[in-house]
Structure 1
Amino acid sequence: MSRRARPGRRYPRTAVVIGGGFSGLATAALLAQDGLEVTVLEARDALGGRAGEWRHRGFRFETGPSWYLMPEVFDRFFARFGTSAAAELDLLRLDPAYRVFFEGDDTAFDLPADDALQALQARESSPGPLEAYLDSAAETYRLATERLLYSTFSSPRDFLDPTLLRRLPRLLRLLGEPLEGFIARHAQDEKVRKILGYPAVFLGTSPSAAPSLYHLMSHLDITQSVLYPKGGFRAVVDAVARVAQGQGARLRTGCRVRHITASAGRATGVHVTTADGGREFLPADVVVSSADMHVTETQLLQPEHRSRSARAWRRRDPGPGAVLALLGVEGELPELAHHSLLFTEDWQRGFDEIAGRRPAGGPPRSLYVCRPSATDDVAPAGHENLFVLIPTAADVSLGAGGVDGSGDSGVERIVDESIEQIAAWAGVEDLASRIVVRRSIGPADFARDFGAWRGGALGPAHTLRQSAFLRGPVRSPKLGGLYYAGATTMPGIGVPMCLISAELVRTAMRADVGGVRSTDGSDGTSGAVAHA
Structure 2
Amino acid sequence: MRRVVVIGGGISGLATAALLAREGASVTLVEARDELGGRAGSWESNGFRFDTGPSWYLMPEVFDHFFRLLGTSSAEQLDLVRLDPAYRVYFEGEDAPFDLPAEGARDALIALDPAAEQQLDRYLESAADTYDLATSTFLYSTYESLRPLLTPRTLRGLPTLTRLLAEPLDRRIRRHSREPRVQQILGYPSVFLGTSPAKAPGMYHLMSHLDVGQGVLYPRGGFAEVIAAIARLAAVEGVDIRTGCPARRIRIEAGAVTGVEVELADGSLELLPADVVVSTADLHVTEQQLLSPEHRTRSERWWDGRDPGPGAVLALLGVRGELPQLAHHTLLFTKAWEEGFDAIYGRGRGRAGTRIPDPASLYVCRPSATDDVAPEGHENLFVLIPVPADTSIGAGGVDGAGDDRVERAADAAIDQIAGWCGIPDLRERIVVRRTIGPADFEREFGAWRGGALGPAHTLRQSAFLRGANTSSKVDGLLYAGATTIPGIGLPMCLISAELVVKRLRGDVSAGPLPEPLAEPVAGRL
Tell me which interval the TM-score lies in, with the shorter structure as reference length: over 0.9
Q: Point out where structure 2 has 5 or more consecutive residues left out of the alignment.
A: 349-353
SS in 2 for 1:50: coil
Which of these residues, 411, 420, 429, is aligned with residue 416 of structure 1?
411
SS in 2 for 1:432: helix
| Equivalent position amino acid for 2:92 in 1 | E
Residue 311 of structure 1, CA deviation: 0.3
Task: Work out whether residues 206 and 351 of structure 1, in 8 Å CA contact, stay in contact via their aligned partners in 2.
Answer: yes
Residue 361 of structure 1, CA deviation: 4.9
CA displacement 1:131-176 (0-9 Å, x = unmatched): 1111111100100000110000101323423332222221111011
Equivalenced residues, count = 517
| Equivalent position amino acid for 2:408 in 1 | R
SS in 2 for 1:169: helix
Query: Is residue 116 of structure 2 the alignment partner of residue 126 of structure 1?
Result: yes
Q: Name the CA distance, whole Å, in 2 between partners of 1:158 and 1:294.
A: 30
Moved more, 356-365 or 473-482: 356-365
Query: Is residue 22 of structure 2 the alignment partner of residue 30 of structure 1?
Result: no
Q: Name the CA distance, whole Å, in 1 between partners of 2:514 and 2:229.
A: 25
Q: Name the CA distance, whole Å, in 1 between partners of 2:79 and 2:454.
A: 28
Q: Name the CA distance, whole Å, in 2 between partners of 1:504 and 1:452.
A: 22
Which of these residues, 74, 85, 96, is aligned with residue 63 of structure 2?
74
Moved more, 237-246 or 495-504: 237-246
SS in 2 for 1:438: strand
| Equivalent position amino acid for 2:226 in 1 | V
Which of these residues, 421, 428, 443, is aligned with residue 423 of structure 2?
428
Which of these residues, 274, 281, 295, is aligned with residue 284 of structure 1?
274
Q: Name the CA distance, whole Å, in 1 between partners of 2:209 and 2:266.
A: 48
Which of these residues, 457, 461, 467, is aligned with residue 462 of structure 2?
467
Q: Name the CA distance, whole Å, in 1 between partners of 2:521 and 2:340.
A: 50
- The corresponding residue for 2:351 is none
SS in 2 for 1:483: strand
SS in 2 for 1:20: coil
| Equivalent position amino acid for 2:435 in 1 | S
- The corresponding residue for 1:9 is none
- The corresponding residue for 1:307 is 297
Which of these residues, 74, 95, 107, is aligned with residue 85 of structure 1?
74
Which of these residues, 95, 103, 115, is aligned with residue 106 of structure 1?
95
CA displacement 1:305-356 (0-9 Å, x = unmatched): 1110010000000000000000000000000000000000011111111113
- The corresponding residue for 1:62 is 51
* TM superposition score normalised by structure 1: 0.95
CA displacement 1:61-100 (0-9 Å, x = unmatched): 1100000000000000000111110111000000000000
Q: Name the CA distance, whole Å, in 2 between partners of 1:66 and 1:480.
A: 36
Q: 1:203 to 1:521 in 2, by over 3 A?
A: closer
Q: Name the CA distance, whole Å, in 2 between partners of 1:418 and 1:274.
A: 41
| Equivalent position amino acid for 2:250 in 1 | I
Q: Name the CA distance, whole Å, in 1 between partners of 2:422 and 2:154.
A: 49
Q: Name the CA distance, whole Å, in 2 between partners of 1:522 and 1:361.
A: 46
Measured on the aligned residues, the alpha-carbon RMSD in Å equals: 1.7
Q: Name the CA distance, whole Å, in 2 between partners of 1:525 and 1:507.
A: 12
Q: 1:498 to 1:362 in 2, by over 3 A?
A: closer
| Equivalent position amino acid for 2:417 in 1 | I
- The corresponding residue for 1:404 is 399
SS in 2 for 1:92: strand
SS in 1 for 2:15: helix
Which of these residues, 168, 187, 190, is aligned with residue 178 of structure 1?
168
Pairwise mapping of residues 347-426 of structure 1 onto structure 2 (< 5 A)?
347-358=337-348, 359-426=354-421
Which of these residues, 228, 240, 245, is aligned with residue 255 of structure 1?
245
Q: Name the CA distance, whole Å, in 1 between partners of 2:143 and 2:283.
A: 19
- The corresponding residue for 1:8 is none
Which of these residues, 444, 449, 457, is aligned with residue 444 of structure 2?
449
CA displacement 1:369-416 (0-9 Å, x = unmatched): 000000001110100000000010000000000000000001000000
Moved more, 176-185 or 276-285: 276-285
Q: Name the CA distance, whole Å, in 1 between partners of 2:162 and 2:228.
A: 40
Residue 190 of structure 1, CA deviation: 0.7
Q: Name the CA distance, whole Å, in 2 between partners of 1:297 and 1:54.
A: 30
Between the two proteins, what is the percent identity of the paired residues? 65
SS in 2 for 1:440: strand
Query: Is residue 522 of structure 2 the alignment partner of residue 504 of structure 1?
Result: no
Task: Work out whether residues 323 and 440 of structure 1, in 8 Å CA contact, stay in contact via their aligned partners in 2.
Answer: yes
Residue 526 of structure 1, CA deviation: 3.6
Q: Name the CA distance, whole Å, in 1 between partners of 2:477 and 2:258.
A: 9
Task: Work out whether residues 270 and 283 of structure 1, in 8 Å CA contact, stay in contact via their aligned partners in 2.
Answer: yes
Q: Name the CA distance, whole Å, in 1 between partners of 2:513 and 2:132.
A: 20
| Equivalent position amino acid for 1:434 in 2 | R
Task: Work out whether residues 70 and 516 of structure 2, in 8 Å CA contact, stay in contact via their aligned partners in 1.
Answer: no
Q: 1:148 to 1:101 in 2, by over 3 A?
A: same
Task: Work out whether residues 321 and 457 of structure 1, in 8 Å CA contact, stay in contact via their aligned partners in 2.
Answer: yes
Which of these residues, 39, 42, 50, is aligned with residue 28 of structure 2?
39
SS in 1 for 2:157: helix
SS in 2 for 1:127: helix
| Equivalent position amino acid for 1:485 in 2 | A
- The corresponding residue for 1:15 is 4
Task: Work out whether residues 269 and 287 of structure 1, in 8 Å CA contact, stay in contact via their aligned partners in 2.
Answer: yes
Task: Work out whether residues 366 and 381 of structure 2, in 8 Å CA contact, stay in contact via their aligned partners in 1.
Answer: yes
- The corresponding residue for 1:531 is 523
Residue 230 of structure 1, CA deviation: 0.3
